[in-house]
Amino acid sequence: MDALQHTLIDPLKPILIPVTHNLPAPLNDFALSLLGDVCHSALLLDLDILTQPHCLNLAISKALGIAIITAASVVKVPQLIKLVRSQSAEGLSFTSYALETASFLIALSYNVRMGFPFSTYGETSFILVQDVAIATLILVYSARTPIAVAFLVGVASAIYALLVDTSGLVGDAQMKTLQAGAGVLGVASKLPQILTVYSQGGTGQLSAFAVFNYLLGSLSRIFTTLQEVDDKLILGGFVAGFVLNAVLAGQMVYYWNSATTAGHGAEVKGKRAIKGVAQEGRQGLATEENLKKAGVPLTPVGASSGVRPGSSGSGRRRG
């Protein structure tokens, strides 16, 4: 810390201080809302990371939180694109996305009710919307449209009960219980996907972009939670999520060049069979053409060959 302050920051102060003291009002207000008066003054106005050591950790945590939220807004867009283009849910587990939807909805509601900073949980709102879309498409492309409609109705009802309703349908004590269960759901949501990849021997339509972003996001959330949120329920969920995200990322690497998912294997086998039949047909046609060129008479199938039934077929007449 001392070396950073004295060797890098202090020499740059004459250049940086005029900039940090004249930031546009919206940007300055945003930094003030994130860091608070003390850290805003120490880090931006004084460019001092030594007098308030905790401010640097807070700034790093806020920056990570903003980065996670920004990435979360598009983290599953590649997965959605792969689904829509292929119109196939192969390699994807509806159970996994349904459990994750429930986990994220509870976590979002819990954080909102507890009044935690949006930078520590904001990605749950974006991922929740994308999870609902993916889960619905999985059902639609699996020819289970009525179940997709029921799923959407269930999600809407849960949103009303947990976030919209102010009459106390779900109280604070019940919300804490649900949050404890959300950690279990978050862990459970990864297991069906891990098992699906293992059983199919490949990742199918699973998006590598989403998997690796999840891994980095869960690791970053452990840091931001330790810095800004004193809640062991939330921390435990992120730790467990990181472990299972690491397993899924490991599967993605292991099966990177694999073409052995169940559907793809059947497709490849079918194509090979059709190709073999076509090759045999072409070979038979070539043989027939060669015999004709050699002047060998060919007897059509079903035509009389001049040999009576029951004869020896030698072609010799009885004397």
User: Residue 286 above 80 pLDDT?
Assistant: no
CA–CA gap between residue 107 and residue 53 (Å, rounded): 30
- Please write down the HEC assignment for all residues of the chain: CHHHHHHHHHHHHHHHHHHHCCCCHHHHHHHHHHHHHHHHHHHHHCCCCCCCHHHHHHHHHHHHHHHHHHHHCCCCHHHHHHHHHHCCCCCCCHHHHHHHHHHHHHHHHHHHHHCCCHHHCCHHHHHHHHHHHHHHHHHHHCCCHHHHHHHHHHHHHHHHHHHHCCCCCCCHHHHHHHHHHHHHHHHHHHHHHHHHHHHHCCCCCCCHHHHHHHHHHHHHHHHHHHHHCCCHHHHHHHHHHHHHHHHHHHHHHHCCCCCCCHHHHHHHHHHHHHHHHHHHHHHHHHHHHHHHHCCCCCCCCCCCCCCCCCCCCCCCCCC
| Residue 137, pLDDT score | 95
Residue 318's pLDDT band (boundaries 50, 70, 90)? very low
Pick the most confident of 3-7, 124-128, 279-283: 124-128
Task: Give 261-274 pLDDT, tens digit per residue.
Answer: 333 334 334 444 44
Task: Give 206-233 pLDDT, tens digit per residue.
Answer: 878 888 888 888 888 888 888 888 788 7
Please, what is the average pLDDT of the chain? Answer: 79
| Residue 64, pLDDT score | 87
| Residue 302, pLDDT score | 44
Residue 172's pLDDT band (boundaries 50, 70, 90)? confident
Higher confidence at residue 283 or residue 258? Answer: 258
Residue 157's pLDDT band (boundaries 50, 70, 90)? very high
Cα dihedral 149, 90, 272, 269 sign: negative
User: Residue 67 above 70 pLDDT?
Assistant: yes
pTM for the predicted model, two decimal places = 0.64
Contact 75, 131 (CB under 8 A): no
Residue 98's pLDDT band (boundaries 50, 70, 90)? very high
User: Residue 85 above 70 pLDDT?
Assistant: yes
Residue 147's pLDDT band (boundaries 50, 70, 90)? very high
CB atoms within 10 A of CB 79: 23
| Residue 279, pLDDT score | 45
| Residue 235, pLDDT score | 85
How many Å is the Cα radius of gyration of the chain? 33
Q: Largest Cα–Cα distance in the chain?
A: 126
| Residue 102, pLDDT score | 92
CA–CA gap between residue 271 and residue 268 (Å, rounded): 5
Lowest mean pLDDT of 24-33, 150-159, 289-298, name the range: 289-298
- Please state the domain extents for the chain: 2-51, 63-257
Residue 128's pLDDT band (boundaries 50, 70, 90)? very high
